[in-house]
Amino acid sequence: MADWQQIARKHCEEQKKKIPLDWLLDNEKLEQLRGTGSAQEGHLIDLQAAKNSGILDSNEIDITENYTARELVQNIRLGALSAERVATAYCKRAAVAQQLTSCLTEIFFEDGIQRARWLDKQLRETGKVIGPLHGLPISLKDSLHVDGHFASVGYVAFLKQDRPKGNAALVKLLLDAGAVLYCKTNVPQTMMTCDSENNIFGRTLNPHNTKLTAGGSSGGEGALVAFRGSPLGIGSDLAGSVRIPAFCCGVYGFKPTVDRIPFAGQSLSPWPMNWMSAVMPALGPLTNSADDLSLLMEVVTKLNPWKYDGSAIDLSWRTLVEPRSKPLTIGILPEDPEYTLHPPIRRSLDEAASALEEAGHKVVHLATDAKRSAALGARISYQYFSISAPAVTDFGEPFVASVAKGMHPFSTGDFPVDPKLDIPSQFSGLNMARAAYAQSWSQIWQEHDLDIVLAPGASCTAVPHDTFGLPVYTVMWSLIDFPAAVIPFGTASATRDSEPQKAITDFVPDYIPEATDGAPCAVQIIAPRFRDEECLEAVGIIDKILNARH
């Protein structure tokens, strides 16, 4: 056995010990919960795997399935629920999720439950909550530093390093707000593919259908939140790494304007930092309700994030006038001819546009224009990424399949700036190209007096493992730092969308109706830079139309 394999095996053995013995499921039970051999094999949510596991009692099922994050905070504050009971319920459900989907990396359930117990004591003795998130369990992407816990980000070599000492800026803020932290979640090797697989923790599976990708790079968060093992998760998004797992797993996700959430204190993929001033990552929430996206943003931005991270922007959450006095003006992003949409995605977008128009909102079908196409935005981004791309082989471990197949954004060609130029000249050319791209989008916003743009989140739904391709419909907005959210809407249907579709490029998967039948569909909502509040206001309005809830 190779050295890297021994290190990875030992770490996973230690990880499993962090799950209480009476929360572990034997192989026979796991096969039953997976529906092995049945027509629904791998459809863990439809099979009600958490409920049927026997690990959670009926009250714990109720807590994890019937409350939003905001409702949990309210009920804990009022004493209707205890923080300890809520934390225990989510730790149990996360333990079941881990055994079925491999969504977790670092597990610290005991610490989380002890903190929840302390929070209950503080509330009893003082009558006051610690902060606006008092008692709320929150899961974290593996990259975020939590004192005393590894942040390996999918690299075996990182397990040879010391455990981080101290907490990431956002972790500190969340603790000050009263949150309960209890686990970290899985990511892909390089953190730059849409399949969350690495040589330590293996592959994260999609709880809607374990034969399909959970997305990446925040795929562990997507799977855990979809399984309702977390009421609110924190991911990071550079090319779509919050939004892609959100729509693959049928949950809500939001990439805010860069640095509205403090970013400092993370382990990042071993990547030269000289390009990071060009396309920057942002931390953002994944949730099971649209309102909980706003909850996280409201709390974080109102708690002076600049005090936790000197790079964070001092811009508190703006309260918009309620109710909105006029309909939204919504631009519909045209399908890019180079990255054609799979039929379920095209249908979902068309149905969403029709529903919004019927509800009284103004829908503007934007013209195709090469100056602001998804393909151009992707090419500019990918050339930034391609300069001094990381070499995984330097760490003595093999590529996982998605990296080996080139399903990451530093592998494509046809760049907008001559790649033979020296690096400073390439950056200069790319910066000019990005500025022109941003200006083109700004002009279209002004021309049509748009509030938001409605777009696909990707060419496809979740697809079979290692076939996702490149995230052109998300990275185009990251390039110009526009806030963007994903709303789940509808599902793929082998009956309604029965015609297979052959991809015209290597970086988009084929459409195979039977393979993705029942997979979640979604739409993406985009607003201009620093219009995060308007973006999430629109998300709330649109979600109520598309996903009417009782």
Whether omega for the bond prior to residue 323 falls within 30 degrees of 0, making it cis, is yes
CA distances, 527 to each of 298, 439, 478, 481, 523 (Å): 17, 14, 12, 10, 14
- Answer whether 3-270+278-307 and 329-546 agree in fold: yes
Among residues 143, 217, 269, 373, the one annotated as catalytic is 217
Q: To which CATH superfamily is domain 329-546 assigned?
A: Amidase signature (AS) domain (3.90.1300.10)
Residue 218 annotated to the active site: no
Mean pLDDT of the chain, nearest integer: 94
Residue 152 annotated to the active site: no
Task: For residue range 92-107, list pLDDT tens digits in order.
Answer: 999 999 999 999 999 9
The domain at 3-270+278-307 falls in which architecture? Alpha-Beta Complex (3.90)
pTM of the entire predicted model = 0.97
Task: For residue range 126-158, list pLDDT tens digits in order.
Answer: 999 999 999 999 999 999 999 999 999 999 999
- Tell whether the model's pLDDT for residue 56 goes beyond 50: yes
Among residues 53, 241, 267, 348, the one annotated as catalytic is 241
How many residues are listed for the chain in this entry? 550
Give the strands of the sheet with 180-185, arranged side by side: 104-107, 180-185, 137-141, 232-237, 282-287, 252-255, 484-491, 520-526, 452-455, 329-332, 362-365
* Contact assessment for residue 253 and residue 201, using Cβ atoms and an 8 Å cutoff: no
For the chain, the structural domain boundaries read 3-270+278-307, 329-546
The bridge status of strand 252-255 relative to strand 452-455 is: unpaired
Which band of pLDDT confidence, cut at 50, 70 and 90, is reported for residue 392? low
* Contact assessment for residue 53 and residue 28, using Cβ atoms and an 8 Å cutoff: no
544 alpha carbon, distance to own chain's centre: 21
Among residues 102, 139, 141, 152, the one annotated as catalytic is 141
Beta strands in 391-534 (DSSP E): 452-455, 484-491, 520-526
Which band of pLDDT confidence, cut at 50, 70 and 90, is reported for residue 274? very low
Residue 241 annotated to the active site: yes
* Contact assessment for residue 87 and residue 135, using Cβ atoms and an 8 Å cutoff: yes
- Tell whether the model's pLDDT for residue 387 goes beyond 70: yes
Which band of pLDDT confidence, cut at 50, 70 and 90, is reported for residue 408? low
| Whole-number pLDDT of residue 273 | 44
